[in-house]
Amino acid sequence: MSDHDEADLLEQVRQAWRDVLDVDDVGLDVDFLAAGGNSLLLVMLWEELDVLTTRELRVSDLFAHGTIRAQAALLSSTGDAEVPVAGADRRSALLGRTRRDEVVS
């Protein structure tokens, strides 16, 4: 995907967020829930973004890739490449645990 295509996709994702969240603007690296989103709005966002990709897109993918930048990267991938999960380490830190802690407990 060219830089121009990536910029267009990034702007399309950003516009979908604006529409769903009913805001004028939101930062590229702000988490959807922190921007005022909730699970119902995430489903609405999924409906907006699903048409922008040829890959199978699940609502859980959008939750795992919670920023505009991460979602645009997800949409531009073919599904074969591993797309980094934005904020996973931060979420674990906020929760004060890791998956290993959950298994050990």
The pLDDT tens digits of the residues spanning 60-83 come to 999 999 999 999 999 998 654 444
Residues of the domain holding 60:
3-104
d(CA 105, CA 92): 15
Per-residue confidence (pLDDT) for residue 92, from 0 to 100:
47
The span from the CA of 80 to the CA of 91, in Å, is 25
Q: Residue 25's pLDDT is what?
A: 94
Residue 1 CB neighbour total at 10 angstroms:
11
Q: What is the pLDDT of residue 2?
A: 60
Nearest to 47 by CA among 58, 38, 36, 33: 58
Residues with Cβ within 8 Å of residue 7, at least 6 apart in sequence: none
Q: What was the pLDDT predicted at 10?
A: 96
Low-confidence ranges of the chain (pLDDT < 70): 1-4, 78-105
Q: What is the CATH number of the domain that holds 16?
A: 1.10.1200.10
Our count of domains for the chain comes to 1
Q: What is the pTM of this model?
A: 0.72
